[in-house]
Structure 1
């Protein structure tokens, strides 16, 4: 006997997507609709929930190898082929978004200097790091695993390589989980979140080796996590910053906010736990079984320098108000009343050029790129 209820649900899924309904764009809704084309006459919602909990996100699921997908309970060859087809189309025909690294500043010359053809040719021949296609996160998607604690622990031990393939191979061999599939999945989480530009950038690798087991490294890794998981930033802005007066927030309140934002999601509990796990791993908050506690934090000079030069990557002059209003810096829960003091600390250590406070004009001037400031920190001995 045909399952008319299931048919009606599938039809509603298609109609919601076709009409552009916002709820139809969640990871869970997209995966459910996709699997209905490979798995006939069966409720795929439980499978969708299990897959997102297992892989952590839709992008991680799509990029998983064919053999790993086929090992997942409920996924057979037809479903795995469909998922990999979508992944291939996404990577080869998706929109190309230019990143900061694609823009090369012109070489500066003096008034009477010309660039010789030999110099121009040599300059163009400098090897650029291989960059993988960056998996774009859409809006404020849910995620099921933080894996930030593991990232912080293993980053100082990474090989000296910009290749994400080499980094992933190392992570799969060294992560402490017994199941190969778990190591594979967590290696993908770590590389995507810690290296969002598509290659293992030297600044983070050098910083990690210089500050193992330190709050400075936890700060920097949490910052990179925020860049990759905008939902974490939103939860901080909506729930944590407004409750700094009490310094406490129940886990239930986080789950309730997620349920309001994603009314059809089935992985609310997992996502709520992952949000808290990231906060605790980053040293941003403390947590017990029912609540988290937090307060404004001190600002370490070195991690502040890393975040500042990530948010303001080009050497130059900037209005201090841009620093005060910066979402990522606010989400770090650094004490806003100490930001100006932290800027002066950077100047005193020679990490930025100067600070100007004249009448209503308040500006700071940077002189390094991120790579330059990290090299200065590591070589100059500015360590705790």
Structure 2
């Protein structure tokens, strides 16, 4: 195979969880040209980090209206221009990509999981355990299952995203404008795409104030998407401290990656920013709701990280139909504060990283 297209057309976290599989493709086929098809908001992140020879950016269209059909035609044209002979579709991507790949000339197309309407067009069309998710395993393994169907001997590895100097420069310029003097940098990701993953904002506000008592020279940055800025501003007002600043809508995604790579502490729910923090080796305290945290925890012990999950008594959990965030509400403030203090102690060399497993 000479031209391989890897497809991940879902959220930021899903594309980041595909990085170990993408690396395995490069190692297995060093002479092949490998492209990565992702949504436009993420294209610059992967272009500049060099994780693929080419990045193709396409939105995920609706197939129920004319505008969506036009976008679908453009996606076909973009795939046809690359002219892949092999394609691997990572989990979560829409199944309608399969016929587009075949029409564009791909002779081998694999997709995990393969239980969908276009299975008959796949090279792995047979229903078998090798073409299914295994919810007992890490989500990275779902992506590796797909590349193994191409004969790749892929080992499970941590997420790794090479941080570019330009990303740090953007973050440093922004921080300088907020009065940061190079002291401790604390980052809070407040929101998630799913309400069930949100930790109460009054606890975030209290956490910032209490951490300032321990680290009076620190600055606390509240990150988020542009449409989350109002929520972030509400937390900043609750804290009522000039050392709490809001970056939502002011940093690009690559600038956010640069910011996370500079941080002494990142506190985040299970969201795309959490995976990005893990990929750039940021020290993290990750807060999990009522679902399987073993699917997305970091796979390395090189950077300090602590995961916190609590189950309320007599509460159903790990079910998609749950509509509350009882799991996040049940995470005690004291547990998060103590985890933050442990991470900061490790960052300042007052504790060895081995203390995280003690």
Larger helix percent: 1
Which TM-score band (shorter chain)?
under 0.3
Larger strand percent: 2
Q: Which one has the largest radius of gyration?
A: 1
